């Protein structure tokens, strides 16, 4: 696993992420409207060359080897 970067909710995601993963980040952030996320951060790591993006609340966005992007809330896929 390789550490990437961290950024605040609402800030621009890492430019290293492809458009599908960036869209998933924006979709999750859209679901957070009205909640105080001022202290929440995204953490980007790389596992086997693929991005793993985790939000402080446990939400995880992964891209599989075939390019499919999956969002999980720490328990179930969305």
Digit-by-digit pLDDT tens for the chain (78 residues) are 566 799 999 999 999 999 999 999 999 999 999 999 999 999 999 999 999 999 999 999 999 999 999 999 865 555
Q: Tell me the whole-structure pTM to 2 decimals.
A: 0.89
Please indicate, yes or no, if residue 77 is contained in any of the structural domains: no
Domain count for the chain: 1
pLDDT at 52: 96
Please indicate, yes or no, if residue 78 is contained in any of the structural domains: no
C-alpha Rg value of the chain to the nearest Å = 12
Strand order in the sheet with 69-72: 2-8, 41-47, 50-55, 60-63, 69-72
Domain membership of residue 58 as a residue range: 2-72
pLDDT at 78: 53
């Amino acid at each position: 696993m390789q550490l990437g970067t961290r950024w605040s909710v609402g800030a621009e995601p890492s430019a290293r992420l492809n458009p599908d993963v960036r869209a998933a980040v924006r979709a999750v952030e859209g679901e957070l409207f009205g909640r105080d996320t001022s202290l929440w951060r995204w953490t980007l790591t790389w596992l086997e060359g693929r991005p793993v993006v985790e939000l402080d609340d446990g939400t995880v966005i992964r891209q599989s080897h075939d390019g499919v992007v999956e969002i999980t809330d720490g328990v179930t896929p969305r």
